[in-house]
A and B are shown apart, each in its own frame.
Chain A
């Protein structure tokens, strides 16, 4: 089946630094990718929707200057958490929609810990 890969799976950083998380669709072209954040024992919260070659659409309450999203190609989207603080520690999950079938596939998630 289709695979969406996230990297890194775990990252620990110091407060004030920036962290980039990559999301790749390995065997299909993803016209749309989504970024979610999940806190412990909570559901996934949609942060933003990114379409290849255009600016991301952010959900209400999500700071676009803090969570930079780039979707430069049909197989890669990146989420950069800028000037990370401990409250940004979370499980970040991306998903990608197959442009041909419309199916949605999720990555394995990236756990960010900000010290």
Chain B
């Protein structure tokens, strides 16, 4: 029950902004939108989360559509260390179900 759709892969040039989209058309009113990223052979790392308003932290920004049916994770300046699989997850109930994620490649 992933409930989110993301592109399988994206590429970005180093030091350029990256916009990672996520569709969640069946989102309910109580679902938070979470983003995690995972490097090979490591556990997922928290990136950001939000409910309705756009959010900013030191790692990224999260832009949430007004109807909440989609969101975009924004990395303002991609670095080589940002190369990872990025997962967009909804959590309203107790469980976190992962979708397929987007594999981000950063080109030097």
Contacts and interface: CB of A to CB of B under 8 A. Distances in A.
Contact of A104 (B2, B96, B97): B96
Interface stretch (A11-19, A64-72, A82-90, A107-115): A107-115
A91 interface: yes
B87 A109 contact: no
Q: Which of B2, B38, B44, B45 has the most CB of A within 10 A?
A: B44
Given A91-B41, A93-B44, A106 B36 contact: yes
A101 to B, nearest CB: 11
Contact of A46 (B36, B38, B43, B95): B95
A110 to B, nearest CB: 10
B96 A95 contact: yes
Interface string A43-83: 11110010000000000000000000000000000000000
B87 A43 contact: yes
Interface residues of B, number: 20
Given A103-B46, A104-B46, A44 B98 contact: yes
Interface residues of A, number: 21
Nearest to B100: A43
Contact of A108 (B42, B87, B99): B42
B76 to A, nearest CB: 21
Interface in B1-52: 2, 34, 36, 38, 41-46
Contacts of A6: 43
A32 interface: yes
Contacts of A91: 41
Interface of B: 2, 34, 36, 38, 41-46, 87, 91, 94-101
Q: Which 9 A-B pairs have the closest CB atoms?
A: A106-B43, A44-B98, A106-B44, A43-B98, A109-B43, A93-B43, A108-B43, A107-B43, A43-B100
